[in-house]
Amino acid sequence: MIDLRSDTQTRPSPEMRAAIAAAEVGDEQKREDPTVNELERRTAELLGQEEAVYVPTATMANEIALRTLGEPGDEVVGEENSHIFISELGGAAVFAGLMTRQLRCEAGRFTPEQLRETVRTGDNTHTPGTKIVSVENTHNASGGRVWPLEEIEAIVATARELGLRLHLDGARMMNASVASGVPAAQLAGTFDTVTLCLSKGLGCPLGALVAGSGELMAKARRLKHQFGGAMRQAGIVAAAGVYALEHNIERLADDHGRARRLAEGLDAAGVPVDLEQVETNFVQVDLAPLGLTRGDALARLWEDGVGLSMTPHPTRLRAVTHLDVDDEDIERAVELIPRALGVLARA
């Protein structure tokens, strides 16, 4: 099975397992776990933030961040298919009491003008005030698309001018950084809170961090405890994170190269793929011209040995490259996918 469903499908490598086995540990709740402390220190530095807090999942990191930034009744604005809006079971409303305002836009990226048009100041008696802007980079639902630095700078400047706080769902921040060649600290350092996930392209079995100022992270640490995310000898898994930051960042370029090769191979075989949209480790396949439903297509692909997965778009599937997929797998997928979808080669 060539598992291209998600970059969350990786298994820890032998080297990562060796780092796990050798981990120094302590009581993380008391901040006595040296490996967790080291992972938090390195991540804060990587993201250009003062402090980072280790949590089990990126979902928890996002929810803690939103709760840190807003009060019940405040609004959070973001792209309509942002993970925080469509894949966290309404956590922003449940845990932080936030209203959500969803923006429709291209490639997951909204503009300063859209932000200006949307933001409400609140009148203290009727209208909820917009408080938080959330950016997702890379943007999952649009196919792992990257926010260019100048667009981030423009959104941050506009948000500051409007008195808004900024969250970055940078679950795949390191993909964005590697693809754009811009250091993560530059892409993430101007946000109030940042999520980084370790269990996607970075190849850890679990773990994520939320980063921000010392003051905000003090609040985030209390929330982490309240959410049930304060752990004990968590260094046993944090060691995988330290290993990943040392060994698995630059290699994301390989995943991006393989996604491009897959997209080009599929396109050459007549599978509807928009090459322009392939910026990181995602390839989206449009089934509309093929007249197949997503369920049918996924079942046929699975039967033929390739795992793809759904996107929020009603006719699009995605293939995601990662650490456990090599060049040979990609060449095989280039043969198997068109066959499974009943596409006849153009050449």
Ligand X SMILES: Cc1ncc(COP(=O)(O)O)c(C=O)c1O
The answer to whether residue 277 forms part of the interface with ligand X (CB under 6 A) is: no
The answer to whether residue 169 forms part of the interface with ligand X (CB under 6 A) is: yes
- Looking only at the bridges linking them, the beta strands covering 208-212 and 193-197 are antiparallel
Element (H, E) at 254: helix 252-269
For ligand X, which is the closer residue by CB, 8 or 37?
A: 8
Residue 161 CA to its chain's centroid (Å): 27
The answer to whether residue 58 forms part of the interface with ligand X (CB under 6 A) is: yes
For ligand X, which is the closer residue by CB, 83 or 260?
A: 83
Query: Given the rule CB under 6 A, which of 52-60, 271-279, 287-295, 312-320 is the region that contacts ligand X?
Result: 52-60
Q: How far is the CB of 187 from ligand X (least distance, A)?
A: 14
Provide the angle, in degrees to the nearest 10, between the axes of the packed helices 173-180 and 252-269: 80
CA 196 vs CA 44, 60, 110, 210, 240: distances in Å? 10, 11, 21, 6, 14
For ligand X, which is the closer residue by CB, 310 or 336?
A: 310
Judge residue 42's burial from the number of C-beta atoms within 10 Å of its C-beta, 0-12 exposed, 13-18 middle, 19 or more buried: middle
Number of residues that bind ligand X (CB under 6 A): 11
The answer to whether residue 75 forms part of the interface with ligand X (CB under 6 A) is: no
For ligand X, which is the closer residue by CB, 119 or 320?
A: 320
Question: What is the rounded distance in angstroms from the CA atom of residue 131 to the CA atom of residue 247?
Answer: 38
Q: How far is the CB of 285 from ligand X (least distance, A)?
A: 18
The answer to whether residue 140 forms part of the interface with ligand X (CB under 6 A) is: yes
The answer to whether residue 177 forms part of the interface with ligand X (CB under 6 A) is: no
End-to-end CA distance of the chain: 27
The answer to whether residue 197 forms part of the interface with ligand X (CB under 6 A) is: yes
- Count of beta carbons in the 10 Å neighbourhood of residue 333: 28
Query: Given the rule CB under 6 A, which of 57-65, 142-150, 282-290, 317-325 is the region that contacts ligand X?
Result: 57-65
Helix, strand, coil percent values for the chain (each to nearest 5): 45, 15, 35
The answer to whether residue 136 forms part of the interface with ligand X (CB under 6 A) is: yes
What are the residues binding ligand X (CB under 6 A)?
57-59, 62, 83, 136, 140, 169, 171, 197, 199
